[in-house]
Amino acid sequence: MKLFHKIAFVFIFAATCAGAQDTAPINAWPEVDRVDVRNLTAPIVERLTDEARARLALRKARETAAEIEALEAVQAQALIPEVDADFDPDVAPHAREYRTACASGNAKACIELAQLYRQGGFVWIDRDLGDTMLRLWCRRGELSACTSDVNFDDYAPIIPILTKGCIEKSAKACQRLSSIYSLGVNGVERDTALAAAMDDLARRYAEVACAKGHGDSCYLQFFSLNHWKKQSKETEARLTQILEAGCAAANSSSCEILASRYLGTRVPAKDVAKSNRLYDKACALGSYRACVKRNAPMPPNAAGILCAADGSVADCQSAMPLPHEYVAADWDEAQRLKARHRSGRSVFEAVLEPEYFLFHPQDHGHIRRSARVCAMGKNLACRDLADAYASLAGRGLEWASWDGIMDRQTQREIFEHLCNAADPVGCWKYGYALYSDQHDSGVLAPPYVEVFQLACNMGQGNSCAKLAFHYELRHSRSDKVLEAEMQVKYARHACDLDNHDGCSNLAGYLSRDPLLYGPANLRACLEGEPNGCWILAQEYDRGRDSFRKDRSLAKMLRETGDALAEQYHSKN
């Protein structure tokens, strides 16, 4: 691993500078290491627990801030002057107005810009960018972003925003809550009773708004009442009335569904002429399905909608400005084009000129943005580009498998380049790429260990935690004290760097030395990992390994572990 020797010097120098500035890791807690774990008392546990509660609250605040900061970093990629080239020339001036207003903090402009990137038509489709911008503005409290159809890794943080909107009689907010609770998705437990209550509120609020002339609310009211099967004449008449109100208020979906009803048996009398007029109106309002029915010219947003719906290469290309980029016709051509494109230069240099031919057109905007911003020296975009080769390359193309070609070699080489350029996260990702291939090879010192050490020395907590896990596996196979000490060393450093996996890895019988496993479990306990508290409680129950026997303190430790774990994992 000679290529890392130069970097090691950089890290030693950086560490020396950090020491000179006397800056401790953000989550360091040296006081805990000085506590005699074998002779804890109730007052000491109470004091440490109070400190732990305050520290856990700060950690959760840091996690939230980091999540929002990451979203902001991606949105910033849409606010640079270079993005004007992504828009149709006729639309670019208007897009520039959105961009300028968004950069100044105008939420409505940012949300409009996000929807443009998601829909295409006048801009290179970049659904990832649009979705990220909507997630950001939802987290900032903008209800219209939260009620969009964007998905979240964790829905818990947006529940208060939607609840506030529902209380303020937003039918869309209530409907989104109903959907979340009925499914029980990502951080929110399923609650069918609450889902039904939210659905009822959505229907009632939509009815009120529909009566005031809000077309979208009429459609929402229809959607909540309609069971998509024939119902009583009274109910069918009511549904038709709701759709008529929605269509009169310029809701294209209401006009389109109403038109279909006049061709069937859900209205008193079939009326083809009226159906055609309604389809014409729906088409004029932007419904591409209605335009297809009437063989009329498609609305400007149709190609983007079709691209999202069926993902064909032709539809997605037509949803973006000219000229369209070429897409490889088969696997062999893709490999020939890639070899020609990369000839005579490094992989990193080559991918900065986007290799569109490897990607479905619906991902071209994403690749274009990542390559552009990476070339500007932004490592976040470079890492995003690397991940795109593993997750997006070939996906959706007939000649690739269902989940794409998973070009992990290109991904790894980009990460290696970033690691050589002293990017901590790039080193972590490069190490993890090596780890994925080698972690069960039986080699005592596989290459990923050195890479993780470099990243850990840079302050990358994930790498320190992964090293702790590596030494934990080594210890389980050899039962050597050194491995246990190394596990604790790296787990504690990861924990100091605010990495919860590292804190959790401190819990357990890491060795039979109470001076090693005792302080480690106390730290894990106070960081919200209940196993640490339970192990200490067990020692005080038994009074072994120089722990005094104190069942009252053991009970207190168990209760402390449960309380701190509940606080850490709470979504509030």
Indicate the residue type of 481.
V
Residues in the chain: 572
Q: How far is CA 206 from the centre of its chain?
A: 31
Task: Specify which of 218-227, 282-291, 430-439, 490-499 reaches the highest per-range mean pLDDT.
Answer: 490-499
Asked if the model's pLDDT at residue 231 lies above 70, the reply is yes
Asked if the model's pLDDT at residue 309 lies above 90, the reply is no
DSSP 441: S
pLDDT value of residue 3: 43
pLDDT value of residue 200: 93
How confident is the model over 336-361, as pLDDT tens digits?
999 999 999 999 999 999 999 999 99
Q: What is the mean pLDDT of residues 309-322?
A: 82
In this structure, are residues 187 and 215 in contact, taking their beta carbons and an 8 Å threshold? no
The helix or strand, by DSSP H or E, that contains position 375, with its residue range, turns out to be helix 364-375
Q: Which residues contact 505 (CB under 8 A, 6 or more apart)?
A: 465, 468, 469, 472, 487, 491, 494, 524
In this structure, are residues 368 and 352 in contact, taking their beta carbons and an 8 Å threshold? no
How confident is the model over 438-471, as pLDDT tens digits?
655 555 568 899 999 999 999 999 999 999 998 8
Asked if the model's pLDDT at residue 127 lies above 80, the reply is yes
The strand pairing partners of 87, in sequence order, are 123
**Which SS3 state, helix, strand or coil, does residue 123 take?**
strand
Q: Which residues contact 173 (CB under 8 A, 6 or more apart)?
A: 143, 146, 147, 162, 163, 164, 165, 166
pLDDT value of residue 21: 38
pLDDT value of residue 22: 47
Would you state the structure tokens that stand for residue 94, as one six-digit string? 């208007």
Asked if the model's pLDDT at residue 503 lies above 80, the reply is yes
Asked if the model's pLDDT at residue 542 lies above 70, the reply is yes
Q: What percentage of the chain exceeds 90 in pLDDT?
A: 68
pLDDT value of residue 439: 56
Q: What is this structure's pTM?
A: 0.87
Rounded to the nearest 10 degrees, the angle between the axes of helix 215-225 and helix 233-248 is 160
Would you state the structure tokens that stand for residue 302, as one six-digit string? 């149709």
Q: Find the Cα–Cα–Cα–Cα dihedral 123, 128, 134, 139, rounded to 10°.
A: -160
Indicate the residue type of 324.
H
Would you state the structure tokens that stand for residue 374, as one six-digit string? 């990476």
pLDDT value of residue 228: 59
d(CA 304, CA 500): 41
d(CA 278, CA 218): 16
Q: What is the mean pLDDT of residues 309-319?
A: 81
Would you state the structure tokens that stand for residue 134, as one six-digit string? 């909507």
In this structure, are residues 462 and 426 in contact, taking their beta carbons and an 8 Å threshold? no
What's the per-residue H, E or C state across 217-263? HHHHHHHHHCCCCCCCHHHHHHHHHHHHHHHHCCCHHHHHHHHHHCC
Q: What are the distances in angstroms from CA 184 to CA 172, 174, 176, 191, 224?
A: 18, 15, 12, 7, 19
Residue 305: pLDDT band by 50, 70, 90 thresholds? Answer: confident
pLDDT value of residue 53: 93
Asked if the model's pLDDT at residue 282 lies above 70, the reply is yes
Q: Which residues contact 21 (CB under 8 A, 6 or more apart)?
A: none
Q: What is the mean pLDDT of residues 524-553?
A: 92
Nearest Cα to 419, choosing from 428, 411, 410? 428
pLDDT value of residue 227: 65
Which range has the worst mean pLDDT, 11-25, 33-47, 413-427? 11-25
Asked if the model's pLDDT at residue 196 lies above 60, the reply is yes
pLDDT value of residue 319: 82
Asked if the model's pLDDT at residue 159 lies above 60, the reply is yes
Asked if the model's pLDDT at residue 8 lies above 50, the reply is no
Residue 165: pLDDT band by 50, 70, 90 thresholds? Answer: very high
Which range has the worst mean pLDDT, 275-289, 302-316, 515-529? 302-316
Would you state the structure tokens that stand for residue 41, as one six-digit string? 């008392």
Q: What is the mean pLDDT of residues 23-49?
A: 90
pLDDT value of residue 212: 93
Chain mean pLDDT for the chain:
89
What's the per-residue H, E or C state across 470-496? HHHHHHHHHCCHHHHHHHHHHHHHHHH
